Structure 1
């Protein structure tokens, strides 16, 4: 049996991917023209505000307890409740740590009103589609669009810790996300775009069965429950707001995604609240190919001329 610190490290490493997920949008509601391609490289910073606030609060409370114990000349002992708070705060911080998420996205217009895309974010692959629901305003050199999207992500597991310890095979983990965004945007010519995207994301991670069995055997050795759940689910509800600035086929994107993560697994003998308020600011650079031109036969004839008959 491994020592408790190693077992905890394994558990935390396994559920680190259970509740955090890339949240960027980097697209407007306007669908690409058939055959049109857009490539976007972006960088986002994941900031779990709720988790960070909880960690700071626990640290402040325990600092006061330690100071009072020293001033009163009594030993400083953690109560069971304080131990649970510290453990939960530490787990939450490891599960959803602040960090930078690089992404590369490629989108292609399929038919009028529908485009499809794929995105690679270092530890996951995401495929999605976007269907136009409403479009208008072209006569005034601006457009307003509404579209509904659906995305599915598959996470790629790798990590030196689990490989070195040779306790589990990483292929035995299974993580997927389902995202449903509603895109709204206004585009002013080829220069400025303003967009928003309320979204819901469901995430589900199935743990490695061998690791779950291994953790359940730890109680007789460690003296307390260190068991891991067979699966972890989380829910994100929030929205993205952003803008793009550029000209014709090149635009710089800047956006902010904010919302609330709900994630309450049974972990180490108790139900842990690992969610909270989350923000992710992102910036990106998008390159878009020219849209398909109308066929020559569809072009209007010049004034005073007669169009040749079609053959």
Structure 2
């Protein structure tokens, strides 16, 4: 039942989860050259987020037959918040990096509804140091926002704003026919969203419309590893990221603080993509 619920919700939330993949090898291209990637990520939340989504799907069905209690309404809002923060979803990604100076790369990436601008510097080179090592920073923002969609049947998400700062660190090696990379995954995100609940009319209850807002901060801490195979300039790769998200959020209804929302969860994040260097 949980898998069916998550699958149905993911149809509404495609490309809303933050991109935890990097699909960057542990080296930058030579000066004046480009690295690019194209692929698809899958976000699989577990723990609190998955449980809240399950509960939200059930309560959305219950609301069709009876009036919900205040606690049930809050759970529905929290489920909407879980979908805002890190829903089960599939996220396409497209990125390009240009090495403007020796060892220094500028990069731009599109992931679903978000754009990220970043930079990397190669600290170690395989031919000199025996291993490649890069470190950098990136800033992302959801530039297209979320469409007003009824993701739980009766809860709408709107006025969505999200910023992200990540610190990519990759160590690995590369050859003519392979790329291997891995490292820690660190990302800080801030989020704000409006939530509207449209409770249907049932026997003895005329129906109701409630408006809430969710805001907070999340920290993703984990690790990732990837491998790609190909020849010279074109490689097909897979990458797996495992991360814990620690959150601090606040839910307010009609402008009044309602509750502190705990959405701490473990995220499983596989990805597949095509990598080119020219």
- Taking structure 2 as the reference length, the TM-score comes to 0.71
Counterpart check, 1:205 vs 2:191? yes
The structural deviation recorded for 1:86 is: 6.1
Provide the residue aligned with 2:164 in structure 1: 177
Partner-residue secondary structure (3-state), 2:131: strand
Pair 1:35 & 2:32 matched:
yes
Distance in 1 between the 2:112 and 2:219 partners? Answer: 21
Moved beyond 3 Å, runs of 4+: 55-59, 77-91, 222-227
User: Cα deviations across residues 87-142 of structure 1 (Å, max 9, x unaligned)?
Assistant: 53454245422111001111111122111111111311111111112223x38xx9
Give the Å deviation of 1:232: 2.4
Q: Which residue of 1 aligns with 2:213?
A: 228
Counterpart-to-counterpart distance in 2, 1:56 and 1:202: 23
Match among 148, 152, 159 for residue 139 of structure 2:
152
Q: 2:250 pairs with 246, 266, 279, which one?
A: 266
Which structure 1 segments of 5+ residues have no match? 1-15, 63-76, 163-169, 216-221, 290-311
Q: Is contact 2:46–2:267 with CA below 8 Å preserved after alignment? A: yes
Residue 127 of structure 1, aligned match among 107, 111, 117? 117
**How large is the Cα RMSD of the aligned pairs?**
3.7
Question: Which runs of structure 2 are paired with 1:1-311 in the superposition (5 Å)?
Answer: 20-51=17-48, 53-55=50-52, 88-89=78-79, 91-93=81-83, 95-136=85-126, 138=127, 144-161=131-148, 174-187=161-174, 189-206=175-192, 227-229=212-214, 231-268=215-252, 269-289=258-278
CA-CA distance at 1:263 after TM superposition = 2.0
Distance 2:181 2:44 in 1: 22
Aligned residue pairs: how many? 237
- Greater strand fraction, Structure 1 or Structure 2: 2
The structure in which a higher percent of residues are helix is: 1
Q: CA 1:52 to 1:266, structure 2 compared with 1: closer, same or farther past 3 Å?
A: closer
Structure possessing the higher radius of gyration over alpha carbons: 1
Alpha carbons 1:101, 1:121 under 8 Å: kept: yes
In structure 2, the gaps of 5 or more residues are 1-12, 60-66, 150-157, 198-206, 253-257
Cα distance, 1:151 vs structure 2: 0.5
Instruction: Tell me the alpha carbon deviations over residues 270-296 of structure 1, each in whole angstroms, 9 at most, x when there is no partner.
Output: 11112300111001111211xxxxxxx
Residues 1:228 and 1:87: Cα distance change in structure 2 (over 3 Å): closer
d(CA) in 2 for partners of 1:154 and 1:86? 26
- Alpha-carbon spacing, 1:125–1:90, altered in 2? closer, same or farther (3 Å): closer
Do the aligned partners of 1:114 and 1:130 also contact (CA within 8 Å) in 2? Answer: yes
Distance (whole Å) between structure 1 residues aligned to residue 68 and residue 54 of structure 2 = 16
TM-score (normalizing by structure 1)? 0.64
Between the aligned partners of 1:110 and 1:266, the Cα distance in structure 2 is: 42
Distance in 1, matches of 2:219 and 2:230, equals: 34
